[in-house]
Amino acid sequence: MTTAHYRSGRGDRQIAASRPLCRTCGKLIPKRTTSLRFGCAPVEAGRSLGRVERPATREEAQRYVNGEITQIRYSTRASEDAGHGMTRVVFVPSYIGEVTYWDGESYQDELFDTLGCAAKFGRSMARQYPDHAMPAYHEALAARKARG
């Protein structure tokens, strides 16, 4: 069983005031986050698939990440070594199975919240300013004129 908890509050208004906005729709651009899995078998941790520890609280999990935890998923399943590089799933008391964290400064993009918004912005600009284009476009037009 896995459940997710999201954190809101603690400085969210200050962060929202400085977060970049999408140039097309005006929405906040999402934070670039990273996930870390807990409860891995030692062989999995050795392959950088997660950590062996099974933290019970947010504060315990915070010790293992370099950033602000934005999401917590609890789990009652963990992995343990089964020999010969194999693992097996075991049921354990509830612990934090995965956290998602933010480094405090990275966003998914600096200008747009989605590729769709970027494309919409590009089309709009191309229609409003037909002479503005990338160098490759101007080179292709010149080559077409030269061919005749």
Pairing of strands 31-37, 3-6: unpaired
C-alpha distances out from residue 136 to 15, 18, 53, 72, Å: 39, 35, 53, 46
Q: What is the pLDDT of residue 85?
A: 83
Q: Is the pLDDT reported for residue 8 higher than 90?
A: no
The mean pLDDT of 22-46, rounded to a whole number, is 95
87 shares its domain with 17: yes
108 shares its domain with 146: no
Cβ distance 35 to 102 under 8 Å?
A: no
Domain range for 33 is 3-113
Pairing of strands 86-107, 68-83: antiparallel
70 shares its domain with 133: no
Q: What is the pLDDT of residue 22?
A: 97
Strand partners, 3: 74
Q: What are phi and psi of 116, to 5 degrees?
A: -60, -40
Q: What is the pLDDT of residue 5?
A: 45
Q: What is the pLDDT of residue 6?
A: 45
Q: DSSP 3-state assignment of 100?
A: strand
103 shares its domain with 123: no
Distance CA 134, CA 124 (A): 15
147 shares its domain with 91: no
